[in-house]
Amino acid sequence: MKNLNQRDFLWMIPLSLGLGAILASLQAGSWFMGLLAFSSLFLLSFSLLVASTRWAGGGKTLAWMVVLAFALRFAGGVTAYFALPVYGYVEDEDQSAGFTYTDAHRRDAQAWDLAISEKPILDAFNKKYAYDQYGGLLAFSAFIYRYLSPDEHRVLLLVLLSAFMGALGVPFLWKAAAQEWGMKVAFASGWIFALYPESVLLGGSAMREPYLLAFSAFALWGFVDWDATKNKLPLIWLGLGIAGMLLVSPSIALVTLVILSGWMYFSSERGRISWQVIAVAVFVFIAGLFILSAALNRQGNLGDGSPIGVINNFIHEALKWNVFKIEEGSGWVQKLFDEMPEWIRLPFVMVYGFLQPVLPAILFVPTTIVWKVIGILRAVGWYAILPALILSFAAAAGSGGEKKRKLFLWLSLVAWGWILFTALRGGGDQWDNPRYRLILFLWQAILVGNVWVWWREKRNAWFARVIGMEAVFVAIFGQWYANRYFHIGLQLPFAVMIAVIFGIWILILGFGVWRDRKRRALDSV
């Protein structure tokens, strides 16, 4: 708290009390108890956000990032909580209770049940509470309810904490990126991390993703500072980040260890890593495997084999289930499945999942106003960063210095491996698929930030060409949806539509290659 001063409390205390009074009036229960609960959390959130922002040293620009990150997540979460029961699908149990996600609703209900019971909070890790697969977030939620809101079920307390965690990662990401890659990449990555719509939506829900993103930012800063200085103090942040991930989602702790191990290998001289670092990483990785397998197999339905066997069974069953759900949930997908060879179904699921949330679909599929707004923002956000992610390998290859080039190539490989895996894991589910993808969004934000800086400096023509290819897909697929729902224009058979899109893509690629060769030939004269 050394980055705070007395003047800060002159605005933080009144603002916390004012916001706390408003929220206490909006939720049932004792107004005074609600005031204490909300105001104390607001004051704690403001204090930590201000302190971390000043510590990071990003000036007014970083301060605006953090302010907007917190405000958008919290305001969006509160708006959704009150709008969904009125403007959503009111017959849906989750929406009628003000929840965007089923997982958040079920976990919240179990957290409240545990909080008002006489059972210890650690019971959240028992298999009885199956709606939180790992137990960590359930235990934290129950703790908040038991000790801050014992008289009433105040759901917005958890929305406030999610918004806080979603914003807290911003200064840590900025400081790590600024130290490792410079101010330009730091600001670009920070804005993307703060404003990405999918992250804003989840940051306004009582979900685990905002916590995982904050823990990932802690781990990133700790690793970057330790790698640069070899001091032991930054390892506290690295350890805090990994420990938080192990509690909330052990699989992400394992993936993060893989990312950082690759980082060390490619950035170290001749790939040398000290045996102490290897030993610690192996120990945490093995412990994480056991924690993950135990969490996945809480119901005992994945066999009694080794942790790797349990995880393999889980992935296999999840992929089979997602293929089934896609085929069951969409008539035209079922028709396509019947017409295509069996070996191509899994790649089709991956591509279909990769495109979720499908921008052309949400533009034309009829739905309520609240879901139309949410859907368009989510889809536009994904399709806005997709060209940059596609070009991440080109930007990495064009980065100066061998260490930087290898590191960005490694991060690009990991990010795309995760995107394609989650496309298979989540299938065509337009909610779970993007949510799984977002878990490693910190690394995607860094890649997109680097591509943005690379394009601004190099003005590479392929940036516009990739955007043009995406525009072709959106326009043609959008017309297909427009005809399907509103009978606008010509209805092309699905296979013909895909052929037309690929044909135009080939023309764009061919023109790009020809143009680049011609330019190089003229430059060499």
| pLDDT score recorded for residue 290 | 55
- Give the span between the Cα atoms of 248 and 437, in whole angstroms: 16
Mean pLDDT of 7-16: 94
Calculate the dihedral angle through the C-alpha atoms of 400, 403, 408, 409, rounding to the nearest 10 degrees: 100
Contact 403, 267 (CB under 8 A): yes
Please report which confidence band the pLDDT of residue 322 belongs to, taking 50, 70 and 90 as the band edges.
Answer: low
**Tokens 């589910």 appear where?**
429
**Tokens 């934000």 appear where?**
445
Mean pLDDT of 434-448: 95
Contact 249, 134 (CB under 8 A): yes
- Show the tokens assigned to 359: 């921008």
Nearest to 441 by CA among 408, 419, 466: 419
- Give the span between the Cα atoms of 216 and 438, in whole angstroms: 12
- Show the tokens assigned to 271: 């790939």
> Tell me: the pLDDT tens digits for 174-226?
999 999 999 999 999 999 999 999 999 999 998 999 999 999 999 999 999 99
Cis-peptide into 120, omega within 30 deg:
no
Mean pLDDT of 346-368: 84
| pLDDT score recorded for residue 307 | 55
Q: Would the pLDDT of 149 be above 70?
A: yes
> Tell me: the pLDDT tens digits for 261-297?
889 888 765 545 555 555 655 655 565 555 555 555 4
**345-354 and 331-339 are packed helices; what angle lies between their axes, rounded to 10 degrees?**
150
- Give the span between the Cα atoms of 337 and 75, in whole angstroms: 42
| pLDDT score recorded for residue 358 | 87
**Tokens 């368009």 appear where?**
376
- Give the span between the Cα atoms of 130 and 107, in whole angstroms: 9
| pLDDT score recorded for residue 493 | 83
Burial class of residue 38 in the structure, from the number of CB atoms within 10 Å of its CB (0-12 exposed, 13-18 middle, 19+ buried) = buried
Higher pLDDT, 282 or 455: 455
Look up residue 365 and give its amino acid: V
Q: Is 231 left (phi over 0), alpha (psi -120 to 50) or beta?
A: beta
Residue % of the chain over a pLDDT of 90: 56
Q: Would the pLDDT of 517 be above 80?
A: yes
Nearest to 287 by CA among 250, 260, 313, 314: 250
| pLDDT score recorded for residue 1 | 54
| pLDDT score recorded for residue 69 | 97
Mean pLDDT of 478-501: 85
Which of 334-338, 356-360, 367-371 is the least confident region?
Answer: 334-338
Mean pLDDT of 10-14: 95
Look at the chain and count its residues: 525
Q: DSSP letter string over 341-388?
A: -GGGHHHHHHHHHHTPSPHHHHHHS---HHHHHHHHHHHHHHHHHHHH
Please report which confidence band the pLDDT of residue 325 belongs to, taking 50, 70 and 90 as the band edges.
Answer: low
| pLDDT score recorded for residue 134 | 76
Q: Would the pLDDT of 145 be above 70?
A: yes
Distances (CA, A) of 340 to 123, 332, 427, 453: 48, 12, 17, 42
Give the CB-side neighbour count of residue 230, counting CA atoms within 13 A. 4
Please report which confidence band the pLDDT of residue 490 belongs to, taking 50, 70 and 90 as the band edges.
Answer: confident
Per-range mean pLDDT, top range of 39-43, 311-315, 429-433:
39-43
Domains of the chain, by residue range, sit at 6-248, 307-524
Higher pLDDT, 272 or 480: 480
- Show the tokens assigned to 276: 């102490």
Contact 46, 3 (CB under 8 A): no
473 C-beta neighbours (distance < 10 Å), count: 20
| pLDDT score recorded for residue 75 | 96
Rg of the Cα atoms in the chain: 24
Q: Would the pLDDT of 127 be above 80?
A: no
Q: Is 188 left (phi over 0), alpha (psi -120 to 50) or beta?
A: alpha
| pLDDT score recorded for residue 340 | 65
Q: Would the pLDDT of 505 be above 70?
A: yes
Instruction: Note every long-range contact of 25-28, with CB atoms under 8 Å and residues 24 or more positions apart, other chains counting.
Output: 26/82, 26/156, 27/152, 27/154, 27/155, 27/156, 28/152, 28/153
| pLDDT score recorded for residue 326 | 57
Please report which confidence band the pLDDT of residue 132 belongs to, taking 50, 70 and 90 as the band edges.
Answer: low
Average pLDDT of every residue of the chain: 86
| pLDDT score recorded for residue 157 | 96
97 C-beta neighbours (distance < 10 Å), count: 15
Please tell me what DSSP assigns to residue 398: T
Mean pLDDT of 301-329: 55
- Give the span between the Cα atoms of 181 and 453, in whole angstroms: 11
Q: Where are the alpha helices (DSSP H) in 58-135?
A: 59-87, 93-96, 102-116
Residue % of the chain over a pLDDT of 70: 82
